[in-house]
Structure 1
Amino acid sequence: MTTSGKSAAASHVGKIRSNNQDSGYAGRHLFVVADGMGGHAGGDVASAIAIKRISEIDHEYPSAPDAEFALQSALIAANQLLAETVFEHPELTGMGTTVSGILRVGNRLALAHIGDSRIYLFRDGELKQITADHTFVQRLVDSGRITPEEAAVHPRRSVLMRVLGDVDAAPEIDTTVIDTRPGDRWLLCSDGLSSYVSEERIHTVLASTPVVAHAAERLIKESLDVGAPDNVTVVVVDVDESGDSATDPPVMVGSAAAPLSFENEPARRSLRLPTLLLHPLKATAEDSHFEPESDEYLAELIAEDKRRARRRRITWLGLIALAAIAVVIAAIAGYQWTQSHYYVGATDGRVAIFRGVQQTIGPIGLSSVHEVTDIRVDDLPTFSREQIERTINADNLREAREIVERLPE
């Protein structure tokens, strides 16, 4: 945890990862979060390189548009630096990083964003997501193909459509200028928070924790409380009348806070039994990976999802059909079993042999008259008449006929 009076940055490796692939920066004017991808061989390197390069633009600007241009240029320069690093270290091929940052100029903010880290604005008691995730599932949500709830459990939720790295020489970066005002609280976070902690919980923490350092600590704890299957990094920035949100001196957290290392490390820790028992649904996290944002690839993914959905429907229909067949077979077998039994009773004042059992299923009876004798119930002695009225069970037809023959006249 690192903090000033008006901003704070915190990062945690989580409970499963062996190394922290996130990086964060809180400076005098600049605040950034980056989430590396490419596995243990490059994710931490990518986010650290990006943060270190982008942090070089942390100084005053004459206007917010100037800051916006500087921030966009810094991300492009970081992208080029990552490509050069991969050229020198081929084992890092495929590494990349998300970046979400804000650069404050008075009461305006320049914003730049790529990937699925997020920037939130907490204003007047309301929490609003400012950035849009550059992910495959977000494209599906935006096009109305799936709901946000379905996106949260989608098998391709880890597919990133845009990142910085050696994967795209000219990545498309979202930039904008936003007005801010005293009382605003800005949250920058990696998906280690946003993917596992609900916006309701984030809202509660930001609303109920006035000290930025405590707010950052509580957000990290929220992620740890649900198992923290991924690295989690947050930067919290408060805006007041002074126009100053600086962290002085500027600080870096996560992998950017350590010297760069190009040595491979184990990808993740072994899963601990308490984590699996306490958080069975969120005990593991898939590594994010990049796929090109092209109409052809998107169409291919959508077609594959449709095939998967069709196979799922066929599987469910097959299971339902099998279950229905099993129910029908069980019903037929049960009915046949009932029809192998008999009992002696009365119908229309005469002794009769019934086939079946004396139960019903709703309006359906499970017995029927098999034979009607000439013996009148009223002609029987009192004891025999009472037995017939209560019915007498028989294991088979022969036994039922023997019961009838033994009835005294």
Structure 2
Amino acid sequence: MVLYYTHCYENRQGESRHLLLKAITSYIGNNKKAEQLVTSIRYKDKLGKPEIEGFDEFSISHSERTWAVLIGKRECGLDIQYPKNARFQEVADRFFDEFDKEAVREKGQSEFFRIWTRREALIKAIGASVTMSNTPSVLEEEVIFEGRKYSLRDIDLPAEEQTGEQIDLNVAVCIEGHMEAVEIRELQKQDKKQEKTKKRKTAMEAASAYLANRMRTVLEMQTYLKQKAYSVDEIEETISELKELKYLDDYYYALRYFEYNHSKHRGSLRAVRELEEKGISDEIIGNAREDYFYENKIDEYEEALGLARKEVFYLSEDGSGCIVQREINNRLLAGIGRKLERRGFCAEHIYRILNEIRNLTDENI
């Protein structure tokens, strides 16, 4: 008999089947065969005792974070139970044999859970219901039920590795016939790579998180998902769905980008360059720029001229409120030209503005 266990059970959907697969793989040494066996699991009767055709007997139990399975050649039962608050004497009086009831009265809750797990192990071995009232006393190592002998034994599982502390857990096994040695094996935890794969987000979940802080372009999203090592099909499917939901929209992104750019008193060429770097097509950029300028009646030449004039004229520092004009020379003009170019205004507008500034006089103020 082999008892496999883990103290890392989380009761997730499908987790018990996965742990059973790991246990059977270890038991027979063949993962492919184990997968075939696990998929053929069925139940002997309405009480739900599981069996696998062509495989040995087994019994599964879990309590809180501990999961275990007992596997062997003969009929067997396994039960594990962490103590918890319960009306134990009332339960004992209803279901236990007279000798077992008396033991609970004398020794209290700890004895109740020890007897409960032994009784459950017996019930699982014979395939009966937990509510059956004619179970024999399970205080002894051997029990006769309906003419058949069963052997009972308490098992001590090793402490949880993380804490190293002894666990307060009742574990009992029941085997048809005489008792035999029970080998105890811990199911190995998943390695870090497996855990990372298990916890990995779907492409849509990753994309949604990436969109949480601000809008993204289609190219930005493609690049991000590629860096996260999602497949081409996953990326295409995710981006297609995001487009349908309007969470990815390069035209709207460009429109808002021109709005932001204008609020910073920048020329549209700067926005165009940056949008191109973000992977938006020239056609979409052109349409967004034209629509934004038309709807907001933007005159870039006048805005650039206003910025240039601020470099030429300034408020007197003597407190008189007078506006003073700087000396217009090549150095000033070159500085204005560079500033307008950095801000993204076109060369045509810059040349016109520089020529206009050359002709400025105090009368233009």
- So what's the TM-score if we normalise by structure 1? 0.23
Larger Rg: 2
Q: Which one has more relative contact order, counting CA pairs under 8 Å at least 6 apart?
A: 1
Greater strand fraction, Structure 1 or Structure 2: 1
Greater helix fraction, Structure 1 or Structure 2: 2
